[in-house]
Structure 1
């Protein structure tokens, strides 16, 4: 529809706008021009969410059982662990939210609107369909507008469409089925006017805008559980079932075989349940993840949900937006083509840091006639200026492409301000060129820059390497332009001629004539982030596929993907091909191709869903609103914090404060480290519970006195969890971590070989503990002394076992394995101090029925711990020795 037809449909007047009464009526009927506020959980709900865990339910069940038996100390300690666990998670999540708030731009734009024939500024949320709005450079578009006027109007739409350069707008109609990026007669809410001016009629507000449509799409996207939460939930269910079954077996054994009284059996059952449940595990998981979040925050990644850091360690595919994520979203001149000569320009972004290099590798300066003349034309016929902030960061005041030209001039030491501009012909989308009359050092010249084809049409000669002129070789230039374009570069040309007195008075398009001297062309690109190229290579070594999903054109996307090492030769898939594909075909395309161009938000969402259907664990990165639905659907959504939109940040689990793709690779490594450490912590903790459970089971089955009371069992559980297990949160990454293939998300957090180790070590520690207890009872020690000795043996064996697990699948008999975590030694010192208090402090002796032990008992305890360490190292050699060698061989073959 034309703008006039739109105005007629909306019952408005382009010359006078709506009346105050009519706008008020529509506002009341349609509601304000704003997106629905995101629902935020109350503090109470957020706290209770951290109690929604199967292991927490098991702990609460144990608390109820101990309360029924009136073992109030046990009950209080268990509930204390539950509350501390939830509090740690609650505080950490709140801290991440506050960190996120610090990088959000919460400014609400205003709008210049025509009401009753008068232009006035009103809050943008008061706009209604039918309002006539005026736009100027620097404005944020306040609603979806059908443009009625457009004067050299360009709009930055990368956040919505993925375009890497501003889009030229006009008021003419376009095809009804035109893609979002090709709807040049519309300006969309939330995009930015980069140059020119215009006006239009509001056609959609609030949820009806393209921004709002994406917001609705996001609300309908189902978030997925992370691999960690799935595995921990499954582990907790199996553990709960095993505890219930074993408790029933224990009661039946005691009752039927030994005729033990019900009160004593219930006490034994309580001891067994408390022994079997790893009370410290939920808190340990939360603390380990929280410390991972702290580590990532120090490296510019803000984590909004604790499991997200670990989930990155399971990622098999990273789907990344191009503009602003893999690239800098800062246009850069990469190549200069002169007559018979190609020059390369180093440095990226707007910073005037770099140099121009000839084909033989020599640096070229302004002494080069051709380079000086083309630089002069491109920099002087230019309305953009470079700006350096106080922090040293360079940006532009003006249009990105012109900013790239000024950056190149700065690298050569050329100052456009030193040249006087007398008359200027502004750039227009119709003419596709800009010209200015300037007083150069040599003479008065007309300097022109613009689309190469338009300049070639007006040129008769070309500049020669010697500084003279020769007849224009149009075929040569068209070949060069085609070559640059095929490589995804945006091409601009430069030309000049001597100026006349008439030119200084008025410069029009026709006055340029057709006798220009063509100077050459430059190739401009939105450059890849240098660090991102390295990060992608590291991801490939780690077995992670990186895919580019962008709204930009196929040629540009392919060229950038090739530079970054993403394109595997399968070619790019266009949005039109994705649109035509059914679900089965889409899954094939998603699996076989790594580059997807000219995509819409729906395409990105479908691609992520298709990859997940293929069994991939997907991380989706992006900065634009068009990325938000896919971020929400992905296993891990990663938003750019600096250039990312508010909606994008709200949709993501992780926000990168520096917009650096490298941080994602670091986060993957951190996630793998955390997963390894959680596995180590579980393999460490469970033998404690297993040994205690076996001790109780043996005692009941054989009709023996319990070697540990329920409270002593809880002491052993908590003292090892609070001290020793905490050390695994600080365990450094193992060597070769990023040379491993991604974990299979379908496999459990502990595998069969780990379960064998847990079972054997549980039996080993239980056997040592029970054996020493029975030996000392038969030797005549009183019950309190024997139980104190048994409890201490159990705790000290765990202290030695800590160093077995630090190098879980390799030998611990290495200096590095014993010394690479100073926190482990501090935890061991803390454990020793606590256990000495347990043995010798009168208040704890009274509470736990413990008694002082002599020196010979301490020797027995130490020898028992050392024996467990040596036997476990032999067990590890049997379980992992050949497996580790096979893994190393497999990695060598893959390389």
Structure 2
């Protein structure tokens, strides 16, 4: 490139296949030089054209917007209208009580959403790292945000890649791309042209992508994409475009609110027409309509929904599931499909040697992960260290031809390539004490791993003896071996048996490495001459990213609960199938579907495949997103788990996004609704159970509140039709609905789960909070409450000579006592109340006692009598009220018997 560079246009950041270009084509396209880089002047010009190398984060809601959001609810609209009407009628008590309900709901919701918003801002700080670049022929460090296309960057071990780059020179470069591609293996990079068309990021071995981490080696690369144009940036943009997916509970509550609104309007019109027919005055009609509206509105429902969900949040937090959005608490309970990432979610993301083939036999290891525990086993017998065996030499070569840090591993904070860490751990299990071996054996020289050679070697000295230790791919090692070590004897190499053993291990989804050694007298490596032949093969080590034991059990429990689990990973198809079958995700061996196949399928073809296939491999973020969208189009409630940047679009698009708390990236957590603080897949099973309990309790609370409302509406409608005085005035209805219910309905939110709730199939997707069977019971209970209340109102009028205040006090008290019996009935919608542990919800009985004391105060304290227009009751009236109130228990038990006979669950 000339010294006077011409500024480029923004077209450089289009989706060019940079991996297909030769180095010369690359230099010409971006107008740069591998030795001198850009001039400082040119970099400034390009920064103005392309903008900072930053990813725009979503703007959250302001505090005022969060506050206003609390009032966007159909039930709240109705309550505000009722408060306004009562204020016009100068019924200040009613208006004040309704206003307090609305404000209490807003305060609770505001603080919950503000907390979630703060978490989002804390997680969204995705500042680009520092970058070492060459400008004007000099190496310098600059902020990552100042990188521009054409910059020549030096990558070193441990650094984070700050932009998308085409590698032009690699010296053993290995990159951890699991956060971006989902692939558990460290990716080995090179600078050669890739001729494959439409290669997914995981197959672009000559590219380094923003957000990934250099695990080992060094490289020189040219920046080709920055900011929004990087693979990371594209994911962030797609997440932003997806928006927020409403949870099933939000949709159901909205539908319930609209339904209640329509019912209120319908009954208001009906009562007005009846009032006109009875020639009632406009004022009386208006007062009656307001009384009916107040009775029909479950004032406590918005508050108790929030409380029920908040209790669920607390319970889930105790089980390591952190909820970032209240309605998400219930979503797992209605989930029908869980789409899970593999690496770090179903697996440990810690490579582990599982099988060793040496001395012409297979050995196994115990324990998984990086902990220095367990042993090497020959069948069921633990292997005793034998320094003359091929197995010992295999383990020794694996830990000596190795660059992973031994000290950090022993401290419990392993550093280095996961494959090499796994070899250190297997050596320790075989009785090789890592620190002492490193003290006894000196490393004289090292031949680093090169992708084109597929091996690494070290020259070691112990005493006067010098030895070359080598590890690499079976093909690379075997081509350099002439003999093999078997039980202390050096024999001619049996190529066929070694290849058969390697093929068997690879068929089980293991990554296979071969080990060899050679005695020598050299002082250092001088080229490849000493490494090309004459080596002695010692054995094979097969490793995998092990599945989490708890994940296997959790998947089994989920499947029994009728929840389908699918695995969506960026890993290779053979690895994905092996892991998937271990997890029980492919019992009928339908196999897996690769991302490149998805690109060739129409939605209809993909829908057909989605019926049977539960394993998806080598997928991009766009593939994951498409799978989630197709599952949603079937009517499934979809939860997606993941920890990487590549999971973010699917996490946001799903009904419930579940991110890993420890290993998860900031982008994944920001896109999620729930974070697993222990990174444990089994926590999802616990969350499913808690979610079902939450929905069951919401259903109980809703049934309890609405059955009272139905009873009150029937009472008022019947009184209007019969041209009777209203059995309650509006303030008495508010007392029934808010104060007495307001304690008991909250208590129902603390109910423990129904036995066997996790074994039930997921609820029908289209089933609302009120199922058809529950609506039937709701009508039946409403009629019982209405008939009992109207009957005792008529009886009180007859026995008091038409004393309306006395009759209304009796009717109001009757409805309160009905609720005392009915709330006990609502503790289980399926089991007999006599089989429910009486003291399993102590808060319920405390609330009932408090409500009874409050009601007695309303009947006997002077100023409360004036507010609620009540009078004291005598013993005969109390006996009649309690006797009638017990009828709701009898009716509920009969209905439950019928339900059990039908084998139909409501709760």
2: CA distance, partners of 1:822 / 1:883: 32
Name the residue aligned to 1:557.
576
Q: Deviations over 1:221-248 (max 9, x none)?
A: 3543322222222222222111111111
Deviations 1:404-435 (A, max 9, x none): 11112233342233232232322222322222
Question: What is the aligned partner in structure 1 of residue 253 from structure 2?
Answer: 232
Shift of 1:386: 4.6
Q: Are 1:16 and 2:36 counterparts?
A: yes
Which residue is equivalent to 1:456? 478
Are the counterparts in 2 of residues 386 and 395 from structure 1 also a CA contact under 8 Å?
no
Specify the SS of the correspondent of 1:639: strand
**CA–CA separation in structure 1 for the residues paired with 2:897 and 2:393:** 73
- Which residue matches 2:724? 704
Alignment of 1:695-734 (within 5 A): 695-734=715-754
Greater mean alpha carbon deviation, residues 470-479 or residues 756-765: 756-765
Of the structure 1 ranges 230-239 and 577-586, higher mean CA displacement relative to structure 2 is found in 230-239
8 A contact 1:351–1:393 mirrored in 2: no
Preserved contact between residue 414 and residue 421 of structure 2 (Cα < 8 Å): yes
Which secondary structure state, in structure 1, belongs to the residue aligned with residue 59 of structure 2?
coil
Which of 401, 406, 410 aligns to 2:419? It is: 401
Is residue 533 of structure 2 the alignment partner of residue 511 of structure 1?
no
1:412 aligns with 2:430: yes
Distance (whole Å) between structure 2 residues aligned to residue 702 and residue 687 of structure 1: 22
Deviation at 1:318, TM superposition (A): 0.7
Quote how far apart the aligned CAs of 1:335 are: 0.6
Q: Show the counterpart of 1:663.
A: 683
- What aligned pairs does 1:749-764 form with structure 2 within 5 A after superposition? 749-764=769-784
User: Structure 1 residues 103 and 329, CA, compared in 2 at 3 Å: closer, same or farther?
Assistant: farther
C-alpha displacement of 1:326: 0.8
Question: Quick check: 1:794 aligned with 2:815?
Answer: yes
d(CA) in 1 for partners of 2:854, 2:818: 15
Structure 2 match to 1:421:
442
Q: How far 1:395 sits from its partner (Å)? A: 3.4
Q: Does the alignment pair 1:436 with 2:458?
A: yes
Residue 204 (structure 1) aligns with: 225
Match of 1:765 in 2: 785
Q: Is the 8 A contact 1:628 1:651 kept in 2?
A: yes
Report how many residues are paired: 878
Match of 2:355 in 1: 335
Bigger mean CA deviation after superposition, 258-267 or 536-545: 258-267
Query: How far has the Cα of 1:724 moved from its partner?
Result: 0.7
Give 1:247's aligned residue. Answer: 268
Match of 2:590 among 555, 560, 570: 570
Aligned to 1:260: 280
| SS state at 1:18 partner | coil
Task: Please tell me whether the aligned partners of residues 172 and 448 of structure 2 are also in contact (alpha carbons under 8 angstroms).
Answer: no
- 1:541 aligned to 560, 563, 567, which one? 560
User: Would you say the 8 A contact 2:123–2:666 is kept in 1?
Assistant: no
Query: What's 2:192 paired with?
Result: 172
441-450 vs 745-754, which deviates more? 441-450
Kept in 1, the 8 Å contact 2:124–2:667? The answer is no
Confirm or deny: 8 A CA contact 1:318 1:545 kept in the other structure: yes
| Between 202-211 and 178-187, the greater mean CA deviation after superposition | 178-187
Give the Cα–Cα distance (whole angstroms) in 1 for the partners of residues 543 and 123 of structure 2.
31
CA RMSD, 1 decimal? 2.0
Q: Could you tell me how far apart the structure 1 residues matched to 2:89 and 2:905 are?
A: 51
Rounded to whole Å, the distance in 2 between the matches of 1:605 and 1:106 is 22
Aligned position for 1:892 = none
Q: Cα gap change, 1:868/1:387 in structure 2, threshold over 3 Å: closer, same or farther?
A: farther
Displacement of 1:442: 10
- 2:766 alignment partner, SS class: coil
Find out whether 1:447 has 2:465 as its counterpart. Answer: no
* Matches of 2:65 and 2:411, distance apart in 1: 42
C-alpha distance in 2 between matches for 1:347 and 1:105: 37
Could you tell me how far apart the structure 2 residues matched to 1:745 and 1:393 are? Answer: 50
Of residues 444-453 and 542-551 in structure 1, the stretch that sits farther from structure 2 once superposed is 444-453
Which whole-Å CA distance do the structure 2 matches of 1:313 and 1:375 have between them? 48
Q: Distance in 2 between matches of 1:9 and 1:106?
A: 29
Q: Shift of residue 459 of structure 1?
A: 1.2
Q: In the superposition, relative to structure 1, how do residues 188 and 505 fare at CA in structure 2: closer, same or farther (>3 Å)?
A: closer
Matching of residue 837 in structure 1 with residue 857 in structure 2: yes
Report the alpha carbon displacement of residue 371 of structure 1 after superposing the two structures with TM. Answer: 2.7
Query: 2: CA distance between counterparts of 1:402 and 1:555?
Result: 22
Q: Residue 181 of structure 1: CA displacement? A: 1.1
CA distance in structure 1 between the partners assigned to 2:436 and 2:121 by the alignment: 44
User: Any conservation in 1 of the 2:800–2:806 contact (CA below 8 Å)?
Assistant: no
Give a deviation string over 1:206-233, Cα, whole Å, max 9, x none.
0011111122222333543322222222
Q: Distance between the aligned counterparts of 1:758 and 1:44, measured in 2?
A: 39
Contact 1:297 1:303 in 2 (8 A): yes
How far off is 1:598 after superposition?
1.0
1:137 aligns with 2:174: no
User: C-alpha separation between the residues in 1 aligned to 2:877 and 2:247?
Assistant: 48
Once the two structures are superposed, the pairs formed by residues 589-628 of structure 1 within 5 Å of their partners are: 589-628=609-648
Alignment partners' CA distance in 1, 2:618 and 2:392: 37
Establish whether residue 221 from structure 1 lines up as the match of residue 239 from structure 2.
Answer: no
> By how many angstroms is 1:532 displaced?
0.7
Superposed CA offset, 1:704-748 (max 9, x none): 122211001001000233211112211111111111111111122
Q: Name the CA shift for 1:307/1:848 in 2 (closer, same or farther; >3 Å).
A: same
The answer on whether the counterparts of 2:485 and 2:538 sit within 8 Å (CA) in structure 1 is yes
Report the 3-state secondary structure (helix = DSSP H, G, I; strand = E; otherwise coil) of the residue aligned with 1:220: helix
Structure 1 residues not aligned, in runs of 5+:
889-895
Distance 1:358 1:441 in 2: 31
Deviation at 1:513, TM superposition (A): 4.3
Q: Secondary structure at the match of 1:397?
A: coil
Indicate if the aligned counterparts of 2:182 and 2:570 stay in contact, CA closer than 8 A.
Answer: yes
- Quote the residue 1:748 is aligned against: 768
SS at match of 1:695: helix
Which deviates the most, 169-178 or 433-442? 433-442
Cα shift at 1:388: 6.2
- Classify 1:668/1:387 alpha carbon distance in 2 versus 1 (closer, same or farther; 3 Å): farther
CA distance in 1 between partners of 2:174 and 2:443 (Å): 26
The equivalent residue for 2:297 is 277
The reply on whether 1:124 has 2:144 as its aligned counterpart is yes
Give CA-to-partner distance per residue, 1:750-789, whole Å, 9 cap, x none: 1222112111111211222222222122212743333222
What is the deviation of 1:134? 1.0
Tell me by how many angstroms 1:103 deviates.
6.9
C-alpha separation between the residues in 2 aligned to 1:483 and 1:623? 31
Distance 2:291 2:551 in 1: 54
Q: CA deviation at 1:104?
A: 7.2
Q: How does 1:871-890 map to 2 (within 5 A)?
A: 871-878=891-898, 880-884=899-903
Go from structure 1 to structure 2 and tell me whether the alpha carbon gap of 1:887 and 1:337 turns closer, same or farther (over 3 Å shift). Answer: farther
Tell me what 1:891 maps to. Answer: none
Following superposition, the deviation at residue 627 of structure 1 comes to: 1.4
Over 3 Å counting, the alpha-carbon distance change for 1:100 and 1:31 in structure 2 is: closer
Once the 2 structures are TM-superposed, how far is the Cα of residue 508 of structure 1 from its aligned partner?
4.4
Q: Which residue of 1 aligns with 2:317?
A: 297
Residue of structure 2 equivalent to 1:847: 867
* TM-score, with length taken from structure 2: 0.94
Asked if structure 1 preserves the Cα contact closer than 8 Å seen for 2:567 and 2:614, the reply is yes
- Matched with 1:630 is 650
Aligned CA distance change for structure 1 residues 578 and 409 (closer, same or farther; 3 Å): same
CA distance in 2, matches of 1:209, 1:765: 65
Are the equivalent residues in 1 in contact too, given 2:809–2:871 (CA < 8 A)? yes
Equivalent-residue separation in structure 2 for 1:15 and 1:486 (angstroms) = 45
Q: Does structure 2 conserve the Cα–Cα contact (< 8 Å) formed by 1:423 and 1:506?
A: no
The answer for the alignment partner of 2:7 in structure 1 is none
**CA shift at 1:187, angstroms?**
0.7
In the alignment, the residues of structure 2 paired with residue 558 and residue 292 of structure 1 have an alpha-carbon distance, to the nearest angstrom, of 36
Given candidates 301, 320, 342, the residue that maps to 2:340 is 320
- How far residue 856 of structure 1 moved from its aligned partner, in angstroms, is 4.0
